[in-house]
Amino acid sequence: MLFNSFEFVIFLPIVFVVYWFILKGKLHFQNAFIVIASYVFYAWWDYRFLLLIILSTLVDYVVAKQLKKGQSKAFRRQLLMISLVFNLGMLAFFKYFNFFIESWLEAWQSVGIHMEASTLHIILPVGISFYTFQTLSYTIDVFRKKISPTSSLIQFAAFVSFFPQLVAGPIERASHLLPQFAIRRNFDAKFALSGFYLIVWGLFKKVVIADNCAFFVNQIFDGSGHFSSMELLLGAVLFGFQIYGDFSGYSDIAIGVSRLFGFSLLTNFSFPYFSRDIAEFWRRWHMSLSTWFRDYLYIPLGGSKGSKRQQLRNVLIVFLISGFWHGANWTFIIWGLIHALLFLPLLLFHVNRKHTNETHLQLKQIPQVLVTFILVTLAWVFFRADTVTIAYNFIMEILSFNGTSIALFVKSSKSLLFSLIILLSVLILLLFELRAVQNNKKEVTLSTWSAISICLLICFMGVFKNPSDFIYFQF
């Protein structure tokens, strides 16, 4: 069920009314209803994969309960291994099985040995990369004795399956979200209204920015024609705004919907395209995933401790695995490698935390922002392209940029007009975000009802017209 679909417009008010009016004050029944609603929400795509969520929930619930009882370190490690093997094994099979088989065959063929093996027709369950990481973090935190396991299966099931963030995050921590299911929730009109504003803003980013950018981007990247360097460059830039509008728009809607039910979710984006270097970009982009890799991979590897060589190794491993997490394709691994190579010099010269405590953007820092955006944009080409070869040729063509390509682009009035419309929408987005950055806000605030009305009107026009999937559903 898509947020930008007619089905969700019907689903959300029904859940809201039952939750607040029929089950008001009945905490256990409210939590149970959230589980049921979340299962219905997920089953709308494919009910068969609902079993995976239920199994993951039961496995980690039981493992965590046993971890509390277990005294032996060896026994506790065995319990943790059960959770790791089950969740990562499930993720590896559905997401990476065919990739490993195909890569194995290609490796042998590269040395002249022909081998045959069959791949499987595997459907990737929606959101599997997100909810497996969320349940894993719970088990690991219980193992580390950072949190105590919950005794309520209903509360834990609600934590795992909470429908606003189930299929594309934010990837929640048990220490943050799980306790919210244990306390009585009272309707807060001001908090709910802030959630409504975020839903509107998220739909604006998805329907107006992302979907319109996608129309142009898909034509550029599908290779169905010859495009000038200017058009390729514009396609790369617009994909950057497409994926940002799509993914951050989803996060805004998820956070907003959660507030309607009295829940607070983690911030997932903090205006990443105003970053002054790659390190700051990753503190602002997909923050719930970045901090997950920091806490459960980077720090266990040694983090910033040890020799400089070990630190560089740790960063490289994290970025490569982060790229691989996004998809079973070498393009994602190369994308992760590019970001690692951009990040490593900052670590090497001890400037990776230079902008950690800075808030306001200064005029003299605009060149840094532009350089960072250009580097991120070029890396996005590998993220979007179907193969490494296509991405490489794409970038080489962009770098051959000349006056002729500009002339060809300007002569294409249709291309130019459509681009101007999109760029106007992007400009509105950036102006709202710049105001938030300069005011040290964590999110965009819509200050007038007129702005809300305009956004609602635009979103309403787009919601029911061929609603498109969110990009991160495929991950």
Residues sharing a CB contact under 8 Å with residue 425, sequence separation 6 or more, in sequence order: 208, 209, 212
- Domain of 396 in residue numbering reads as 191-474
The larger pLDDT score, comparing residue 186 to residue 114, is at 186
309, part of any domain: yes
171 and 264 belong to one structural domain: no
pLDDT tens, position by position, 36-90: 999 999 998 888 899 999 999 999 999 999 998 877 888 999 999 999 999 999 9
Average pLDDT over residues 413-424: 66
468 and 358 belong to one structural domain: yes
Known catalytic residues? 326
Q: Phi and psi (nearest 5°) for 182?
A: -95, -10
Number of domains in the chain: 2
In this model, does residue 254 exceed pLDDT 90?
yes
Least confident among 81-90, 101-110, 245-254, 264-273: 101-110
Is residue 391 within 8 A of residue 239, CB to CB? The reply is: no
Q: How far apart are CA 336 and CA 86, in angstroms?
A: 26
User: How much is the pTM?
Assistant: 0.90
Burial (CB count within 10 angstroms: exposed 0-12, middle 13-18, buried 19+), residue 15: buried
The two three-digit tokens of residue 382, written as one number = 């590998």
38, part of any domain: no
Query: How would you classify residue 341: left for phi > 0, otherwise alpha for psi between -120 and 50, otherwise beta?
Result: alpha
Q: Which of 137, 168, 185 corresponds to the end of one domain?
A: 185
- Vertex 163: Cα angle to 159 and 164 (nearest 5): 105
113 and 63 belong to one structural domain: yes
388, part of any domain: yes
pLDDT value at residue 69: 84
pLDDT tens, position by position, 426-469: 888 888 888 888 778 888 877 655 566 666 656 655 554 555 55
31, part of any domain: no
175 and 263 belong to one structural domain: no
pLDDT tens, position by position, 402-415: 655 555 555 554 55
Cβ atoms < 10 Å from Cβ of 228? 22
pLDDT value at residue 414: 53
Q: What is the dihedral of CA 218, 223, 228, 229, to 10 degrees?
A: 80
Is residue 52 within 8 A of residue 128, CB to CB? The reply is: yes
Q: How far apart are CA 135 and CA 155, in angstroms?
A: 13
pLDDT value at residue 114: 66
pLDDT value at residue 442: 80
Q: Which of 185, 214, 245 corresponds to the end of one domain?
A: 185
- Rg over alpha carbons for the chain, rounded to the nearest Å, is 23
- Which 8-state DSSP code applies to residue 207? I
274, part of any domain: yes
464 and 417 belong to one structural domain: yes
Place of tokens 């997909």: 286
214, part of any domain: yes
Is residue 378 within 8 A of residue 395, CB to CB? The reply is: yes
> Within 13 Å of residue 355, how many CA atoms lie on the same side as its CB?
20
Average pLDDT along the chain: 86
pLDDT value at residue 402: 64
The larger pLDDT score, comparing residue 225 to residue 322, is at 322
Least confident among 155-164, 225-234, 388-397, 426-435: 225-234
Average pLDDT over residues 265-289: 94
Q: How far apart are CA 24 and CA 30, in angstroms?
A: 8
Q: How far apart are CA 288 and CA 28, in angstroms?
A: 28
Residues sharing a CB contact under 8 Å with residue 178, sequence separation 6 or more, in sequence order: 138, 147, 150, 155, 156, 159
